[in-house]
A and B are shown apart, each in its own frame.
Chain A
């Protein structure tokens, strides 16, 4: 599903050039659950942003479903993203001015789903995430665990093929964290590909495979049994 070859990304300031990704090559198959680990600054988040088409690489190739997307412009990336990729962030990133229902509804609006259909789909996914009773609350009225469940609901409402999770349990206590990991595992079992950046060995154990990065390069891959 995803094949990156010799991917490069630099960050430049006026005097210093930092290499974030150094000719990195990774392949992720459809239906996989991959964890990416590594120390701070190793390029994990940069990789996730490029995979999520939020950022573009400075070199190398990125095949998404066998389509070269490395040189896509912003409009094309936005288009591909909204139909195929869901995001889960460490800090939830819900819009404070919108209710739970409206936050989850957002991706459906941008993919042009008619409003009659949206209600059903949002309710279904809220039900699945067990936060239906909170549908009319605003994010700041929810606990961290609940907020992250809303974020996951928003990530999956469009039935994306790929979910990118950036330290999804980072702001949660262990019991809420485990709940979120169970949700992701369920989604993966239903066929969604998941790539998750994490610092937590515990969380990484939920995945099929761990890719360890150091200085923008793969240093090790563990297959989980």
Chain B
């Protein structure tokens, strides 16, 4: 019997090629989107779960409140892990890691000329490889890090620096602040893409302790903020509450900080909780599954819509089968088998599409997913579940509708208009268009907001400013380099800044009236050319002859006046930080030194004297303002040669301030790209749905159209008669979608301190797009019906 079902399904598929193609490909597109998002979500959810003890590993986090602001810190001092383990019996073991914050220069001493800048140098305790489940390809987990200056390479690094040779026992030079030679003790598998711990090189904390810089990192002997992430392995996953209380108590006893509270995050949740990295993934994680489900439902609704729309063509068959002894159940089973066949083809095509577009999708999201993950049991099970659900839903409605046909009616060609489904179809189509319209509106708002971000006057002249990071490896040569660059012909001006623009700032504590009244304020350090180079404007300029540079003075922005309770014109007043006093010599007009997502916060600008060694110790950034119409590649080439003159090892790197500014909106940019693709897909699917509905309803009105034509109706009048019905649905969908989209986008915009207003034309544009799409879709059927010979349609009655 099944063979017979498949046979007839296949013949139907082949004989109705266009219909089959539309139906299968429509569902395939929906499935592809769903699969892609499913893999992405599964990957995000699977972070760090591959560790054997993942459920028992936790990271402690300290939080404390200062002047109403809560600060969370998970990076702790070197001593913290050991102290916690000693004093907390529920902690079975711990390991500490410190990810080196900047790239290192790596080289194989046998090939000293091949130097590369590498990211992800990890300092870790000796038990790192036995604590976690990263696989070692060579070397033993217990011993690879038990001595100072041994290193474990990732597979990629081993290949890069040692080719096909066995690297074990060989040496590699890693230049951090200074260059050190490490002996290769092991090679580890590349860290899985779903690992929040990233490494290219892992070396022991013991190595760090032997470096002269170590004090900076490992100094304090008690629990305090620091550079290390302590991972705690608990005896039981359920010990967290006990441990948290006990840690709070410990903090109270030690009185290291007032009002310190501990929380514990499970290792597997750190990726999604992380506030330090790019939190945009969390946004997607909320939106995407919803979009995936909606798009799949749309595609399924289309499938059902189109399948049942063609029911009249199959009605006779159902009648014959029933007369030949088929029960309703067997007919339903037949249509289920048929749906299963179509769905299987869609699924295969969807899978192919998913893999074809995966690189694009991952690129837009700036993600990497190991291919091994894509074939992992979890993903295969999810795909199987998706497959089964799709078959069940896709087959359900056609099976119910088609098996209910009465043979008496179908065999006599009297398919009644009550065959049903018109209402259901109308609901489907309206919802599909509502979703399309909603997405178009959201797309426009997101796009306009991004445009606004890019073009808003932020009070900084960010055009043609190139930012060049300079490391402490420059030693005393920075000023010489700066002079050399300033003298290049295309350069208008140069300045020094501690931080790169739009990449963060320091915080400084400013004393208030009482001892406990401390305010944390963003602070910046630069040279006396910085204000000029950035084109910042004065609110109250320094008095004539007043120097900008000096250890006893500072400049503030307007926002700081209110926050620090200063007089309206605070020039000449003093601020105190710790026991140092600073004179306010000028006030800058507010400018957006960080993302437009937030309001302008108070800012303090320090200008240390030229000889102050701060920049030499920490490195800094050279900002070069380039004259208009300068040949950029040539100029950058010249700057690079100057750079290499003073620091041949560290790679030359530069960013344009404009790009850095735009990069702040990457998350929104990505959201916008993905959104537009979802929108296109939704519109395409909705059009398919409308196509199905039009086919169905117009087929039912064949006789009416015939009579109208016999009575003298023109093609145009029939076309508009038929199209009007569908336009009503589209207009209804616009009415439904607009308030929902307004609400969603209104909420989204609340996340930005600087935002656009949602205006009427956005809704009008979305509505017109939907209407034009609908007219184009319906016209095919309407014209076909209007052009048909009425004699034919009337004879069929």
| CB within 8 Å of B: which A33-91 residues | 45, 49, 52, 54-55, 74-75, 78-79, 81-83, 87, 89, 91
CB distance from B486 to the nearest CB of A (A): 83
What residues of A have a CB within 8 angstroms of the CB of B1 in the complex?
109
**Shortest CB–CB separation between residue B438 and chain A, in angstroms?**
39
20 contacts between A and B (CB under 8 A): A54-B322, A54-B406, A54-B407, A55-B406, A55-B408, A75-B328, A82-B326, A91-B411, A93-B319, A93-B411, A95-B8, A95-B321, A96-B317, A98-B11, A106-B4, A109-B4, A110-B321, A110-B325, A110-B330, A111-B325
Residue of B321, B324, B328, B329 with most partner-chain A CB within 10 A: B324
Contacts of B330 in A (CB 8 A): 110
Q: Which 10 A-B pairs have the closest CB atoms?
A: A82-B325, A110-B325, A78-B327, A107-B324, A97-B11, A106-B324, A54-B408, A49-B408, A87-B323, A95-B317
A93 and B320 within 8 A (CB): yes
Convert A146-188 into 0s and 1s, putting 1 for each residue whose CB lies closer than 8 angstroms to a CB of B. 0000000010001000000000000000000000000000000
Interface positions, chain B 1-28, Cβ under 8 Å from A, are: 1, 4, 7-8, 11-12, 15
Nearest residue (CB) in B for A52 is B323
Alpha-carbon distance A54/B11, docked complex (angstroms): 28
CB contacts (< 8 Å) of A52 on chain B: these are 323
Interface: A215 (CB within 8 A): no
**Interchain CB contact under 8 A, A94 and B320:** yes
CA distance A75 to B330 in the complex (A): 10
A89-B411, A95-B320, A97-B12 are contacts. A107–B325 as well, Cβ < 8 Å? Answer: yes
Check A102 for interface membership: any CB of B closer than 8 A.
yes
Are B408 and A78 interface neighbours, CB within 8 A? no
Q: How far is the CA of A158 from the CA of B413 in the complex (A)?
A: 26
Answer whether residue B781 sits at the interface, using C-beta atoms and an 8 A cutoff.
no
Among B12, B325, B412, point to the contact of A78 (Cβ < 8 A).
B325
Using a CB-CB cutoff of 8 Å, which residues 291-331 of chain B contact chain A? 316-317, 319-330
Kindly report which residue of chain B lies nearest to residue A110, judged by CB atoms. Answer: B325
List which A98-130 residues lie within 8 A (CB) of chain B. Answer: 98, 102, 105-107, 109-111
Q: Given contacts A78-B322, A93-B319, A97-B12, could you give 5 more A-B pairs where the C-beta distance is less than 8 Å?
A: A82-B325, A82-B326, A97-B8, A106-B321, A109-B4
Interface magnitude class on chain A: 20 to 34
Q: Which residues of B contact A55 (CB under 8 A)?
A: 406, 408
Within 5-36 of A, Cβ neighbours of B (below 8 Å) are at none
| Distance, CA A118 to CA B20, complexed state (A) | 31
Least distance between B320 CB and chain A CB atoms (Å):
5
Could you say which residues of chain B place their CB within 8 Å of the CB of A111? 325
Q: Which residue of B lies closest to A138 (CB)?
A: B11
Which residue of chain B has the shortest Cβ distance to A103 in the bound complex? B320
Whether the Cβ atoms of A98 and B8 lie closer than 8 Å is yes
CA distance A91 to B323 in the complex (A): 14
User: Cβ of B11: which chain A residues have Cβ within 8 Å of it?
Assistant: 97-98
Report if A54-B323 is in contact (Cβ < 8 Å); known contacts: A75-B328, A95-B317, A97-B11.
yes
Give the chain A neighbours of B324 by CB distance below 8 A: 82, 106-107, 110, 154
Within 8 A of A (CB), among B402-424: 406-408, 411-413
Q: Which residues of A contact B413 (CB under 8 A)?
A: 91
Contacts of A110 in B (CB 8 A): 321, 324-326, 330
> Are the CB atoms of B325 and A74 closer together than 8 Å?
no
- Complexed CA–CA distance, A83 and B325 (Å): 8
Interface residue from B4, B325, B407 paired with A102 (Cβ < 8 Å): B4
Residue of B nearest to A81 (CB): B325
A residues near B408, Cβ cutoff 8 Å: 49, 54-55
- In the complex, the chain A residue whose C-beta lies closest to that of B321 is A106
Question: Do A75 and B327 have beta carbons less than 8 Å apart?
Answer: yes
* Smallest CB separation, A155 vs chain B (Å): 9
CB-based contact A102/B7 at 8 Å: yes
- Shortest distance between the CB of B121 and any CB in chain A (Å): 68
The listed residue with most B CB atoms (<10 A of its CB), out of A52, A74, A105, is A74
Distance, CA A60 to CA B609, complexed state (A)? 112
- Docked Cα-Cα span, A47 to B120, in Å, equals 86
Q: How far is the CB of A140 from chain B (nearest CB, A)?
A: 11
Contact B316 A93, beta carbon cutoff 8 Å: yes
How far is B408's CA from A118's CA once the two chains are assembled, in angstroms? Answer: 27
Question: Please, how many angstroms separate the alpha-carbon atoms of A97 and B413 in the complex?
Answer: 18
Assembly CA distance A132 to B327 (angstroms): 29
Residue numbers in B under 8 Å from A98 (CB-CB): 7-8, 11
Chain B residues within an 8 Å CB radius of A102: 4, 7
Assembled-state Cα–Cα distance A47/B215 (Å): 103
Q: Is the CB of A78 within 8 A of B317?
A: no
Of A54, A89, A91, the most chain B CB neighbours within 10 A belong to: A54
Nearest CB on B from A108, distance (A): 9
Cβ–Cβ contact A81 & B15, under 8 A:
no
Q: Provide the residues of chain B in CB contact with A105, threshold 8 Å.
A: 4
For window 554-570 of chain B, which residues contact chain A by CB distance below 8 Å? none
Q: In chain B, what residue has the closest Cβ to A98?
A: B8
